[in-house]
Amino acid sequence: MFYTGLDPYTMEEIFVPKTAEEKAEQRALLQYFRPENKKLVLSALKKAGRYDLIGTGKNCLVNGDAGNNSPNKKSNSSTNQNKKANKPKAGRVKSHPKIRPNKVHK
């Protein structure tokens, strides 16, 4: 499939990335959630004409502003405090009410 560029079942031609840029864009689309891939994802979606996947909606992959989520940006202390507040407290974990431990029969 990657060598011939044909789907083995239908024998239709499929897209196979050949240049380093195409391969990087394809990898970035698979890892769209990583902040360092944001610029590549935006450029790949724009090339494909998939503007419906750019934005803040439920079905969008990335936000439209390219500089917002740069990996070098430092987070402020208030977000770190919110992360600490959301952590579960250590201690005994309650079991589910419908799940009981196995009874040992003699």
Report the number of distinct structural domains present in the chain: 1
Domain that includes residue 8, residue range? 1-69
Distance (Å, rounded) from C-alpha 39 to C-alpha 51? Answer: 14
The reply to whether 14 falls in a domain is yes
pLDDT class of 30 with cuts at 50, 70, 90: very high
Do 44 and 37 contact (CB within 8 A), yes or no?
no
The reply to whether 81 falls in a domain is no
How many C-beta atoms surround the C-beta of residue 24 within 10 A? 15
Q: How many helices (H) and strands (E) does the chain have?
A: 3, 0
The reply to whether 10 falls in a domain is yes
Residue 48, classed as helix, strand or coil, is helix
pLDDT digits (tens, 9 = 90+) for 53-66: 999 988 999 988 75
The reply to whether 77 falls in a domain is no
pLDDT class of 25 with cuts at 50, 70, 90: very high
